[in-house]
Amino acid sequence: MAEARTNKAQLYAYFGNKEGLFDAIFFGSLERITNVVPIDATDLADWAVRLYDEYLHRPDLIRLATWARLERRPTGHLVEEAHRLDDRKLRAIAEAQAAGLVRPGAPFDVMAMVIAMSMAWSPVSNVYSATADEPAELHERRRGLLRETVTRAVMTR
């Protein structure tokens, strides 16, 4: 609070309570959380690797989204307006499917699977949470595995 040059009373007066403060931060970050890495549906493996890199450099965004999932919406979409936030990604995947580049299936499910694979070593992994401080060759090995796995799972070429 010292960095923000405020105190608890001022924060609560403005946001009402901790939930109001969290919601302001979460919804203020929502566009960045959902669109931080532009999709390229013709190369979903590359998109997964770029997501992996973003999770290494901005673990706070993943933690914030996970906290919202745990506290606000334990089921369904993370936010009500998810369809608006995902429309562009889903259209891109559907177009890549129509071009024969991505396996058939619901575009949303394909997107969810690629995101899930990219989060294998994220700050919310229940197996291992990677950091940007780990050796570069370790990250390269993970990127290679992620690229190959996504390619085999969802790409047709």
Q: What domains are defined for the chain? A: 8-154 (1.10.357.10)
| Average pLDDT for 53-74 | 88
Res 1 pLDDT > 60: no
pLDDT of residue 5: 66
Cα separation, 66 vs 54, in Å, equals: 15
- At 83, the pLDDT band (50, 70, 90 cuts) reads low
Residue with tokens 């669109």: 35
- At 50, the pLDDT band (50, 70, 90 cuts) reads very high
Going from the C-alpha of 62 to that of each of 92, 123, 137, the distances in angstroms are: 23, 7, 23
- At 29, the pLDDT band (50, 70, 90 cuts) reads confident
Going from the C-alpha of 144 to that of each of 9, 38, 49, 109, 149, the distances in angstroms are: 49, 20, 8, 23, 8
pLDDT of residue 105: 97
**Local structure of residue 74 (DSSP, 8 states):** S
pLDDT of residue 14: 74
pLDDT of residue 82: 61
Q: Which residues contact 39 (CB under 8 A, 6 or more apart)?
A: 47, 88, 89, 92, 93, 111
pLDDT of residue 3: 63
With beta carbons less than 8 A apart as the criterion, state whether 40 and 90 touch.
no
Tokens standing for residue 51 = 């997501």
- At 35, the pLDDT band (50, 70, 90 cuts) reads confident
Average pLDDT, the chain: 88
Res 20 pLDDT > 90: no
Instruction: Specify the amino acid at residue 122.
Output: S
Cα separation, 49 vs 118, in Å, equals: 7
Res 46 pLDDT > 90: yes
